[in-house]
Chains A and B, each alone.
Chain A
Amino acid sequence: MDKFKIFLLPVVGLVFGIIILMLIVFSLNSIPIFQREGIAIYTTNIWKAGEVPEEEFYGILAAIYGTLYTSTIAILISLPISVGLAVFISDLLPKKLREFFIIPTDIMAGLPTILYGIWGIFVLAPSLSGMMKFLYDNFSFIPFFSYYNPTGFSYLSAGILLAIMVTPFATSLIREAYMAIPSIYREAVYSLGLTRYEATKVLLSYIKPAILAGTLLAFGRAVGETVAVSLVIGNAFNIHSSLFAPGYTISSLIANQFGNAFIYEFMPSALFSAGLALFLIGLVVNVSGLLVLKRWGYA
């Protein structure tokens, strides 16, 4: 082994060390709440902070539910338009115009998330509340619309905001895979006399793995997003089927509650265990996304 490599090894070790230490810190700090409540921290929806430690009890099921609910809404909105934009840019636009559509999506992907947050709280949520009231007044028999007196701060607002935030990322991944389809295949498909719709359907089936990976990685981003979501989700311990109900996500729970957590005996540990859950969900989703990319040779 050359000297230069030996000189660099500690740096690489440190990078791995940070992640491993992170996992250790979250695990160790979760121990008190696991010892006290066991798995109930993840399976109950109770948030009782008390002056006396005996009265405290924490269960973050509502936050886990909210995280999965909002991220699912985000993906359901984002996926069809991500694919649509990817095909639009590579098939409908002449080469010279492509950058006019790609650069804005790149800006969106990098834009500070707090800008989505301020737009969400002052523009998106208020403008959604009117629509929500209408749907509640007329269609409240449908469970999705059944929350009484919606304010605009809800799972739906968070889901829409997340969809806007993850779409640029998903669409660029899908677009790159779509554009990389060998031209032989394109020519073959069109030589059969297929319409654009039929041809695209065949071509898209060729990049299914990239679409799956894009979905997983976008889901992973949605799960971890914090500030923008915490400003529009309403921050309430709630497990409700309605899109219009306020709720919590794991990350917004942490952002919202940690400020005063240290007054209580067990709350910090409860929030670290919430962080541990987020850590593991994020890790599983992102690693599977990256594995899909690797397996089919996209990364």
Chain B
Amino acid sequence: MLRELKNKVFILYLIISAFLVLFPLLHILFSVFANGIPVLLKFGMEFLTETLPAPNKPGGGIFPAIYGTFVMVFLASLIGIPLAVLAGIFVAEYPNNALSKATRSLLLIMMEFPTILVGLFVMAIIVLPLGSFSALAGAIALSIVMLPYVATYTEQAMRSVPQQYKEGAYALGLRKVRVVFSITLKIAKKGVVTGLLIGMAKVSGETAPLIFTAGNAWRSTGGALEPAGAVPLWIYYLVQQPYANYHELAWGAAFVLMVFFLAIFLPIRLSMVRS
């Protein structure tokens, strides 16, 4: 009797755990939808094309934030992806080398590393010498955050390529460089692209690395050496303001950010289920 009772209580505990994990997620998604959609309907297309309104004034939008996010994610990809892919290739191609093993551990540590410290670091080496916040500094911080994700995905994709293809290529007399870039990387393309997208989706939602590097821009859309806004950064500052219309903008921006994230993440994740 007691054994069965314990068993029942245990199963109840399992079900409650599942509920307790999933409920907050659903509540967050629901809150962002429920608060964000009315804002977008109210502001209309202007929400995506206008700049920050004055406090408690109607209208306005989050264009400088969207612009800044695109510029910085683009620059970060330009800087980070080549580095990350090459590092991933090194770890995959020389798996038993002591340096490769150390690199693999380092990449895992970098993934868990507090991103605010990356921001502080880039501030010290880029922002202070240049004398100003800039999109470039923000992009460099994002590229450091992105690097371990892209490198790890590249490594795994490269290692999943069957040995026979490589052996065939070597048998034809190709050099290692050609084998890696023309054969292995081509076959591993899908996995590598997944890594790139995951990395880009990840950094487009990052706030902490940008606070002390990108600065912020509420109404201007400048070049790489000028301060830049970003969608997550805007939300972070807007929710701390006392004005109701700024809170509305923050919810709208959160909705845009969430849709953007889900649009990249869900197809990738669902394609993993199928394969």
Contacts and interface: CB of A to CB of B under 8 A. Distances in A.
B226 interface: no
A88 B14 contact: yes
Interface residues of A, number: 86
A223 B83 CA distance: 28
Nearest to A163: B24
Nearest to B181: A4
A8 B14 CA distance: 48
B211 A255 contact: yes
B72 interface: no
Interface in B57-116: 83, 86-87, 89-90, 93-94, 99, 102-103, 105-110, 112-116
A85 B87 contact: no
Interface string A85-124: 1011101100000010101111110111111111101110
B124 A29 contact: yes
A111 to B, nearest CB: 7
A16 B62 CA distance: 38
A103 B106 CA distance: 27
A81 B20 contact: yes
B56 interface: no
A221 B116 CA distance: 12
A227 interface: yes
Contact of A25 (B83, B121, B207): B121
A114 B236 contact: yes
Given A107-B262, A111-B205, A254-B116, A119 B32 contact: yes
B114 A11 contact: no
Interface residues on B, range: 35 or more
A105 B21 contact: yes
Contacts of A180: none
A168 to B, nearest CB: 7
B112 A115 contact: no
A87 B109 contact: no
A196 B6 CA distance: 10
A123 B31 contact: yes
Contacts of B190: none
A75 B35 CA distance: 30
A254 to B, nearest CB: 6
A198 B9 CA distance: 12
Q: Chain A's interface: helix, strand, loop or mixed, by majority?
A: helix
B232 interface: yes
A65 interface: no
Interface stretch (A46-54, A135-143, A183-191, A279-287): A279-287
Contacts of A25: 121, 124-125
Contacts of B124: 25, 29, 272
Contacts of A271: 120
A112 B109 contact: no
25 contacts: A3-B177, A4-B175, A8-B93, A15-B147, A19-B109, A92-B11, A110-B198, A112-B204, A113-B207, A115-B205, A115-B254, A115-B257, A118-B254, A122-B35, A164-B24, A195-B4, A197-B9, A220-B112, A226-B116, A226-B207, A226-B208, A227-B208, A231-B239, A275-B117, A282-B112
The 4 closest A-B pairs by CB, nearest first: A84-B17, A112-B205, A224-B114, A197-B10
Interface of B: 3-4, 6-7, 9-11, 13-18, 20-22, 24-28, 31-32, 35, 83, 86-87, 89-90, 93-94, 99, 102-103, 105-110, 112-118, 120-121, 124-125, 144, 147, 151, 175-177, 180, 198, 201-202, 204-208, 211-212, 232, 235-236, 239-240, 247, 250-251, 254, 257-258, 261-262, 265-266, 269-270, 273
Given A84-B17, A254-B120, A290-B109, 5 more contacts: A12-B103, A104-B25, A112-B232, A226-B116, A227-B207
Interface of A: 2-5, 7-9, 11-12, 14-16, 18-19, 21-22, 25-26, 29, 80-85, 87-89, 91-92, 99, 101, 103-108, 110-119, 121-123, 164, 167-168, 171, 195-198, 200, 217, 220-221, 223-227, 231, 251, 254-255, 258-259, 271-272, 275, 278-279, 282-283, 286-287, 289-290, 299
